[in-house]
Structure 1
Amino acid sequence: MINIEGTPVGSFPDIREGAEAAVQAINETMGGLNGRPFDLDSCVHGLDPNEAVACANSVADAQPNLHIQGIDFFNPVLWPTLVGSGVAILQTVPIFIEDFNTPGLLSTEGGCVAAFPSAMQYGVEVVQADKFVILYSDSGPGLVCYEDTQKRMIQTLTDEGKIAQEDWIGVDDASGDPTDNDAVVQEVMEFTNGASNAWVYFGLQSTDCNEILSSLASNGYDGNVVMSGSCKDTSVLSNPASAGVHIGAACCIPDRPDLWDAYTAKYYDWRNGNLDAFGPTVPRSSFMEIAHDVVITALIQMIQFVEDGGDIDNDAAGFMDHIGTQSNLHRAGNPRSIDCTQNSEEFVSVCQKEQGYYVWSGPGGEFSYGPSEAQIDATDLILRTAIANPRPAAE
């Protein structure tokens, strides 16, 4: 695994620790892969691209059975080395265009591709905002995800007559820097002034979500808030201003086993036990759960590949083909299968494109269903956008 940590504009130790918790559970309670223990070697780096490249070179030299890519702001320059080395690659959270459209790697989690197009649909078609603000990070991946998976998608909805051009804006936030919060909040307040059904979408990391949520509340914002799952951690959920916030989730309504099917309830209880046994050093988050589930999904796929006669030690291409040709792929923790055979050309590497949105009652409370109990499948919007607002050609 390669992961970026310890930087003010983005640090994701929860990704690494989620993966480590899964590996510990596999080895201690499941006997590894058919009796072979899992060994996770993490290469952690900061904002130095040379460190990131050194990590990629070390993976290429090591030739592991599988490389799991954490969150990394240097992915575009790492993929040629990693994919070119021939190792099997699964992503955790795809955030760059190169994460979306590079053959030779796959993501069973949606990242920006599931969270943001579905959020545009939610804001425009489900809750029917009369003023819609998109908060996005000014970091490299934040800017890419905004332009590619938010702005393009809502522009398609605009062109289709579902929201007026003047009724939505994007507002950038300096990631990890609270000094611009007042300016961000002021722009939100001015744009939503007089609206009867204003919505602000938070596509930020959790620390920024928490700070701006508090600032909006203290400035008297009385509209609505919908957040990406990246905002869902203990700091946000314990914020008094979180009451009534809608939060995205890839699987199902969070933390409500009374509303889950039997499989989901059993899996979530098992995963929570794994995280408890591991003892994370950082707050639990959606990213921690995602990384855990990617490792478990990888184990399931490895077992199936070996049972089908595959050579997990010497046929990385065959293993990737095994995953990529499944139209009914089981993703750990999710009762609904995903289809990797229908990935569009713009998002050839991403299999998961669904997201649900659920209402948080506030600190100490619980999630409930919002206007729609159904997950939003963004596949059709993504395909329409590829025609109506295609991605600009790389310069």
Structure 2
Amino acid sequence: MTRRSKKVLGLALSFGLLAAACGSDDDGAEAPDDAPAETTAEEPADADEPADADEPADADEPADADEPADAGEPMEEPTGEPFKIGVQNAEGDPNGSFPEYSIAIEAAAEYINTELGGLGGRPIELELCSMVISPDDSQRCANELSAAGVDMALSTLNFFGNHFSIYAGSNIPVIVGTPLTIADFTSPGVFSVGAGGGCLGVHTGLIEFATNQLEELEGIDVQRVAVPWADTPPGVVCYNDLEAKPLDVLNGSEPGDSARAGEKPDLEHIGVPVAPASPDVTPQATEVLSFDPDVIIFSAQGADCWNFLDALGRLGWTPDEIPLVFSSSCTDFDAMRAAGDLAKGIYLVGSSSGLLSPLDSLEGDRLDDATIYQTKGIEYGMTEDDVFKTFASAGFAAMMNIWEIADGLDGEVTAESLAAGLAATDGTKSAYGSTPLDCANAPAPYVAVCNSSVGANIWDGDKLVLVDPEFSGLDLVAGTELRPGG
């Protein structure tokens, strides 16, 4: 266990003991008995699964010389000048609404202020701006938060990327929780810390998995790939640059430096746009199946994924006939159960964090991080339903990543020092809910992405079971030109 894990988990346990000693009847610090027994697409569901190779066993790890003698002693209440974080999040729009993101960020901020001493003694003060999915509203929020004098902005997921220049004009660094757009990947002063690297990591990971690991798992030769894709502004970019392009690298029609370039000269693929919240996607599902694919991959918001699966099923498709690979953004345990046998055997590819996993399936840092998230999230205002949502875990993790950077700084915590700390991450230190952040070595032109590793699971009808804990498809776009629109 790392010093960071001991410190944070020790503090969490200490506060739990204090609450018990005071006779509290609040069960929020305990994992609920009826908590879902599933894990998201990026986490192990087998208690016997070995820890990551780069995660040393606790018993073999020497104690850090500078570790506090009592890591469980509560930190002092933050009394410094508030550190204002502006949160820009889409809510209340059928084209994209993610209230759980805001709820989780608020819970994490309260946890950090109450139990972890804020950011270097400065209490976090949140300024939330809710937006609809429109370019104008994206910029409205950025202008309002800049005018409010926030020290740092946290952009949850934004379909346009037109807000960064506004923050840059006020010298406000930006954290991105779920990167989707070219601007999320390439803007200076932006740190896309979301586990799995958003579209960049997940969509290239989908292609890597569908054309590599899946072949061995299913005993098939993948030469025809159907790609229904979310017909939204970021969906256009993610499909063209991070799905169609790497597929073209594989068949040799797109020049690139990947070790797999030209590996599948006969590979063919089709893209089928799917508008969000479409009531009937039978025509799109028909087009996909008419292509006679060896595999289908799809990344969208949860309801759209299961609406599409239902349409496939009504047309006679089963996962035994044609493998289906979703991104972890599709994770919805209620929908997966409701789909019954139609969902059994589908794969999900996404970040390799572990925050939504059953605690008894985890070890080391992943266990510590998930314990904190699943207990403290509920204790500080999240419902159990919210806790087990992918975007909620992303919001909580982003705040904890900010705290980790602040905790490692020498001297005063400021927007400038936090940005410098993020920029200096080099993949050598563990990060909450994530593989290590590596902003310093982000590959051009994707210079804002600090994390791109993903994992894959299969839904067995009851839970998600790990099939590959960590891999990356980033090499598939190495040395290529940006292709945002086709």
**TM-score normalised over the length of structure 2:** 0.72
Mean Cα displacement is larger for which, 50-59 or 242-251? 50-59
1:367 alignment partner in structure 2: 464
Query: Could you tell me how far apart the structure 2 residues matched to 1:215 and 1:96 are?
Result: 28
Mean Cα displacement is larger for which, 143-152 or 125-134? 125-134
2:325 alignment partner in structure 1: 226
Say whether 1:289 aligns with 2:393.
yes
Query: Could you tell me how far apart the structure 1 residues matched to 2:123 and 2:397 are?
Result: 18
Matched AA of 1:304: G
1:272 to 374, 377, 380: 374
Question: Alpha carbons of 1:92 and 1:393: their partners in 2 closer, same or farther (altered >3 Å)?
Answer: closer
Is the Cα–Cα contact under 8 Å of residues 455 and 471 in structure 2 kept in the other structure?
yes
Query: Could you tell me how far apart the structure 1 residues matched to 2:262 and 2:139 are?
Result: 45
Q: Secondary structure at the match of 1:98?
A: helix
2:474 alignment partner in structure 1: 379
Deviation at 1:20, TM superposition (A): 1.6
1:161 alignment partner in structure 2: 262
Q: Secondary structure at the match of 1:18?
A: helix
Question: Alpha carbons of 1:282 and 1:43: their partners in 2 closer, same or farther (altered >3 Å)?
Answer: farther
Say whether 1:138 aligns with 2:231.
yes
Say whether 1:215 aligns with 2:300.
no
Matched AA of 2:200: V
Question: Alpha carbons of 1:35 and 1:6: their partners in 2 closer, same or farther (altered >3 Å)?
Answer: same
Q: Which has the higher contact order (CA 8 A, sep 6+)?
A: 2
Say whether 1:172 aligns with 2:256.
no
1:182 to 275, 282, 303: 282
Query: Could you tell me how far apart the structure 2 residues matched to 1:298 and 1:43 are?
Result: 19
Is the Cα–Cα contact under 8 Å of residues 13 and 282 in structure 1 kept in the other structure?
no
Query: Could you tell me how far apart the structure 1 residues matched to 2:265 and 2:482 are?
Result: 22
Matched AA of 1:6: G
Residues 170-210 of structure 1: CA distance to partner in whole angstroms, max 9, x if unpaired? 1110111223x001110122112xx6xx2211111101001
1:326 to 425, 434, 438: 425
Query: Counterparts in 2 of 1:88-167, with a 5 A limit?
Result: 88-109=173-194, 110-128=197-215, 129-159=222-252, 160-164=261-265, 167=268
Unaligned stretches of 5+ in structure 2?
A: 1-86, 216-221, 253-260
Mean Cα displacement is larger for which, 243-252 or 164-173? 164-173
Is the Cα–Cα contact under 8 Å of residues 277 and 303 in structure 2 kept in the other structure?
yes
Is the Cα–Cα contact under 8 Å of residues 138 and 173 in structure 1 kept in the other structure?
yes
Q: Secondary structure at the match of 1:44?
A: strand
Deviation at 1:115, TM superposition (A): 0.3
Query: Could you tell me how far apart the structure 2 residues matched to 1:246 and 1:126 are?
Result: 11
Query: Could you tell me how far apart the structure 2 residues matched to 1:101 and 1:378 are?
Result: 18
Query: Could you tell me how far apart the structure 2 residues matched to 1:157 and 1:169 are?
Result: 14
Query: Could you tell me how far apart the structure 2 residues matched to 1:95 and 1:317 are?
Result: 25
Residues 205-240 of structure 1: CA distance to partner in whole angstroms, max 9, x if unpaired? 101001111221222113111111110123333231
Matched AA of 1:51: D
Q: Secondary structure at the match of 1:57?
A: helix
Is the Cα–Cα contact under 8 Å of residues 193 and 450 in structure 2 kept in the other structure?
yes
State the superposition RMSD in angstroms. Answer: 2.2
Query: Counterparts in 2 of 1:33-52, with a 5 A limit?
Result: 33-52=119-138
Is the Cα–Cα contact under 8 Å of residues 228 and 288 in structure 2 kept in the other structure?
no
Residues 344-367 of structure 1: CA distance to partner in whole angstroms, max 9, x if unpaired? 2210000111111111112xx122
Deviation at 1:24, TM superposition (A): 2.4
Q: Secondary structure at the match of 1:39?
A: strand
**TM-score normalised over the length of structure 1:** 0.88
Is the Cα–Cα contact under 8 Å of residues 209 and 236 in structure 1 kept in the other structure?
no
Greater C-alpha Rg? 2
Mean Cα displacement is larger for which, 109-118 or 233-242? 233-242
Query: Could you tell me how far apart the structure 2 residues matched to 1:281 and 1:72 are?
Result: 26
Q: Secondary structure at the match of 2:445?
A: helix
Deviation at 1:48, TM superposition (A): 4.4
Query: Could you tell me how far apart the structure 2 residues matched to 1:73 and 1:377 are?
Result: 24
Query: Could you tell me how far apart the structure 1 residues matched to 2:351 and 2:133 are?
Result: 29
Residues 128-154 of structure 1: CA distance to partner in whole angstroms, max 9, x if unpaired? 334321121111111111111111112
Mean Cα displacement is larger for which, 160-169 or 90-99? 160-169
Question: Alpha carbons of 1:163 and 1:7: their partners in 2 closer, same or farther (altered >3 Å)?
Answer: farther
Deviation at 1:36, TM superposition (A): 3.5
Query: Could you tell me how far apart the structure 2 residues matched to 1:286 and 1:332 are?
Result: 15
1:345 alignment partner in structure 2: 444
Deviation at 1:251, TM superposition (A): 1.7
Deviation at 1:54, TM superposition (A): 2.3
Q: Secondary structure at the match of 2:420?
A: helix
Q: Secondary structure at the match of 1:136?
A: strand
Deviation at 1:252, TM superposition (A): 5.0
Query: Counterparts in 2 of 1:65-104, with a 5 A limit?
Result: 65-75=151-161, 77-104=162-189
Query: Could you tell me how far apart the structure 2 residues matched to 1:235 and 1:300 are?
Result: 33
Matched AA of 1:88: P
Matched AA of 1:163: K
More helix by share: 1
Matched AA of 2:237: V
Deviation at 1:259, TM superposition (A): 4.2
Q: Secondary structure at the match of 2:372?
A: helix
Deviation at 1:258, TM superposition (A): 4.1
Question: Alpha carbons of 1:165 and 1:101: their partners in 2 closer, same or farther (altered >3 Å)?
Answer: farther
2:100 alignment partner in structure 1: 14
Identity %: 23
